[in-house]
Amino acid sequence: MKKSKIKFYSGLSLLGLSGLLSKVNGADAAVANTAATGWQKPAWLTDLVMGAKESYDDNLFGVSGKGMTPKPSWITTVSPKIGFNFAPLLGDQKTVQTLSLSYAPDFNIYHGAPSQSFNAHKIGDTIKGKSGDFSFALDNAFLFNDGSHHAPIYGVLGGPGGTSLDKYRSVPGMGASRERLAQLQDRATVLLQYDWNKIFIRPTASLLYYDLDSDLHNSSAIPGSPAPIPGYQNYADRYDVNGGVDLGFKLTPKLAATLGYRYGSQYQQQFPHSVDTDRHYSSNEYQRALLGLEGKPWSWLNVKLAGGPDFRSYNSMSAVNDFNPVTYYGEAVLTATLTPSQTLTFNYKQWQWLSSVGKVPYFESTFALNYHWNATKQLGLDLGGKILELDYSPGNEVNPAGQNSSLRDDIVYSLSAGVSYAFSPHFSGSLSYICDLGVNGYDNLPATLGPDYRDFEHQLVSLSLQYKF
């Protein structure tokens, strides 16, 4: 059956995230030399790019090989991009520094699995400016996937009438296939800041929104419902929206301590009764108190970090042990400039979020370390490592089969490497490799919950070419 939609409107969705203006990993030399081409790109045309990539993915659905053989595929991706900054057209003014709009689609063809082919339409826009002691920034990244409306079927243990294996799979392993389906995503932030001598005040708001436009089907026999599709994976809509304020104290001209507050709401779709007789869903409201540090403690190190307690209030139908827990929220980005040509970046985030595959909330932890070296003006090298953990143990939900789906702690260890080369100021290429190792992190998991089914290996190798006009 086709799922009913819950519409969520926000003016933030009209504004975009400059991060969508994708960067090529590699050398600084990939700057267009307009004199060599005989064509002068206007100042308001920031990006005019054509890219192509050929990849090989050896495990499209992130499965262990037990009950479902990993599916490989060659993937062809064509990625044009156009970007504008209309600020230069506003004349001799300095208030609006950036007024940008970009469109960067990816057209993906999966040769070994045509059902997974999709087109990702990415639109980003940014407004940034400053007037005296007042500054502002509005960023938004909007994604529309033109993909399949039919989610994957993760197999059945014991043949027809057996147990659906989607209950056993690694959730992050299934995440890649979810991102290929028809959907809308929106990420937006708004910042306003007023500076005094050594103090600033900064109202802020953010939105994270997923409308997963895949069909919903019951995967087990439900009286009065259409025939079930065993192993079919349903995905729930969800969003997180919050607003608040930061108060900053400048410890030095380049370093500030912050005290912040956020009030927010998280929404998780409740599946229709014809799809799932379990009525649990974990929408909630929360408040956060945050201590932070941002700026440059030293000339070679840039930091931005914040963390503190997170006070939750779950609805009465939530699948949790505690309806009013106190959890932890933390995020950080640290960038060290080791030499003029080498940088080391550490990213970190821990927070409580809502699952797209079930009814139980989870605690998500991400740790990532990336190294970049401009070995020459043409040659760039990248190395990276990442740990992602989705811990569902705060939940408490027993499905109709009597299996506690909150007995889950999925961990993925990732390593990546890449090399890029600028053949000319316009033309560059890159070669990258990613290896993911998914493991079950829940100790003493009963054999009936299939711990071995949650382990998986995944490799992706890609060769990319890009031409900048």
Q: Of the segments 86-90, 149-153, 247-251, which one has the largest average pLDDT value?
A: 247-251
Q: What are the angstrom distances between the C-alpha of 354 and each of 132, 182, 333?
A: 41, 20, 23
Q: Of the segments 162-166, 297-301, 397-401, which one has the largest average pLDDT value?
A: 297-301
| Three-state DSSP class for residue 34 | helix
Q: Is residue 274 predicted with pLDDT exceeding 80?
A: yes
Specify the DSSP class assigned to residue 237: -
Torsion sign (Cα): 432, 437, 438, 443: negative
Determine the average pLDDT of the residues in 329-354. Answer: 97
Note the pLDDT of residue 222. Answer: 66
Note the pLDDT of residue 160. Answer: 46
Determine the average pLDDT of the residues in 186-199. Answer: 96
Note the pLDDT of residue 343. Answer: 98
Alpha helical stretches, state H, 31-131: 34-37
Cβ(182)–Cβ(464) under 8 Å? Answer: no
Note the pLDDT of residue 30. Answer: 39
Confidence of residue 149 (pLDDT cuts 50, 70, 90): very high
Q: Is residue 401 predicted with pLDDT exceeding 50?
A: no
Residue range 223-244, pLDDT digits in tens: 666 777 877 889 999 999 999 9
Note the pLDDT of residue 198. Answer: 94
CA–CA separation, 207 and 267 (whole Å): 12
Longest distance between any two alpha carbons in the chain, whole Å = 72
Note the pLDDT of residue 422. Answer: 98
Q: What percent of the chain has pLDDT over 90?
A: 69
Q: Of the segments 65-74, 94-103, 314-323, which one has the largest average pLDDT value?
A: 94-103
Q: Is residue 287 predicted with pLDDT exceeding 90?
A: yes
Note the pLDDT of residue 4. Answer: 42
Which positions ≥6 away from 112 have C-beta within 8 Å?
A: 71, 72, 73, 74
Note the pLDDT of residue 35. Answer: 42
Of 464, 422, 416, residue with least CA distance to 437: 416
Per DSSP bridges, beta strands 156-157 and 163-164 are antiparallel
Q: What is the pTM of this model?
A: 0.86
Which positions ≥6 away from 447 have C-beta within 8 Å?
A: none
Token pair 């001209």: residue = 253
Cβ(387)–Cβ(413) under 8 Å? Answer: yes
Q: Is residue 257 predicted with pLDDT exceeding 80?
A: yes
Determine the average pLDDT of the residues in 33-40. Answer: 54
Q: What is the number of helices (H) and of strands (E) in the chain?
A: 2, 21
Q: Is residue 307 predicted with pLDDT exceeding 80?
A: yes
Token pair 């900053």: residue = 248
CA–CA separation, 276 and 257 (whole Å): 48
Confidence of residue 167 (pLDDT cuts 50, 70, 90): low
Note the pLDDT of residue 278. Answer: 82
Determine the average pLDDT of the residues in 303-332. Answer: 94
Tokens standing for 38? 């005989």
Note the pLDDT of residue 155. Answer: 63
Confidence of residue 111 (pLDDT cuts 50, 70, 90): very high
CA–CA separation, 329 and 266 (whole Å): 14
> Higher model confidence: residue 67 or residue 106?
106
Q: What percent of the chain has pLDDT over 70?
A: 85
Note the pLDDT of residue 12. Answer: 35
CA–CA separation, 303 and 312 (whole Å): 28
Q: Which of 69-83, 123-137, 153-167, 443-457 has the lowest mean pLDDT?
A: 153-167
CB atoms within 10 A of CB 386: 17
Note the pLDDT of residue 442. Answer: 84
Specify the DSSP class assigned to residue 60: T
Note the pLDDT of residue 393. Answer: 79
Which positions ≥6 away from 95 have C-beta within 8 Å?
A: 129, 130, 131
Which domains are seen in the chain, by residue range? 11-468 (2.40.160)
Cβ(142)–Cβ(124) under 8 Å? Answer: yes
CA–CA separation, 315 and 95 (whole Å): 44
Q: Is residue 29 predicted with pLDDT exceeding 80?
A: no
Q: Is residue 73 predicted with pLDDT exceeding 90?
A: yes
CA–CA separation, 147 and 448 (whole Å): 35
Cβ(303)–Cβ(293) under 8 Å? Answer: yes
Q: Considering the chain, what is the average pLDDT of its residues?
A: 87
Q: Is residue 44 predicted with pLDDT exceeding 90?
A: yes
b/e map of 276-304 (b: 16 or more CB within 10 Å)?
bebebbbbbebebebebbbbeeeeeebbe
CA–CA separation, 268 and 355 (whole Å): 8
Cβ(308)–Cβ(293) under 8 Å? Answer: no
Q: Is residue 156 predicted with pLDDT exceeding 70?
A: no
